[in-house]
């Protein structure tokens, strides 16, 4: 059963966000993950949505999501991420 992480993002510092984004692929590769989508919100069709950007990353399973998120490589990026953007990360599986 595959699993995905969706990030809803509001960038606070574009330079730091670019640094963070450049380093994330190396943290997901060991977990067999792939970037599915990264883009800007065009329109909210229903309800409220405060963030401007969205990312979707597919993992082979939930264990891979958990391993990636808890990995030393990704944990090292969290301080940069927090300086760069406000975001919500959601994990789900099919």
pLDDT tens profile 34-79: 999 999 999 999 999 999 999 999 999 999 999 999 999 999 999 9
Range of the domain at 76: 3-93
Residue with tokens 């406000």: 86
Percent of the chain with pLDDT over 90: 98
DSSP state of 55: E
Distance between CA 23 and CA 20 in Å, rounded? Answer: 5
State the CATH number of the domain containing residue 35. Answer: 3.30.70.100
Distance between CA 42 and CA 47 in Å, rounded? Answer: 14
Quote the pTM value.
0.92
Q: Domains in the chain: how many in total?
A: 1
Distance between CA 70 and CA 22 in Å, rounded? Answer: 19
For residue 94, name the pLDDT band (cuts at 50, 70, 90). confident
For residue 6, name the pLDDT band (cuts at 50, 70, 90). very high
């Amino acid at each position: 059963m595959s699993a995905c992480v969706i990030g809803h993002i509001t960038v606070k510092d574009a330079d730091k966000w670019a640094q963070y984004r450049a380093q994330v692929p190396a943290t997901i590769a060991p977990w067999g993950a792939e970037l599915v989508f990264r883009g800007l919100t065009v329109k909210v069709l229903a309800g409220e949505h405060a963030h401007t950007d969205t990312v979707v990353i597919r993992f082979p399973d939930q264990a891979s999501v958990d391993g990636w998120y808890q990995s030393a490589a990704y944990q090292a990026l969290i301080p940069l991420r927090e300086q760069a953007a406000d975001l919500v990360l959601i994990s789900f599986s099919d």
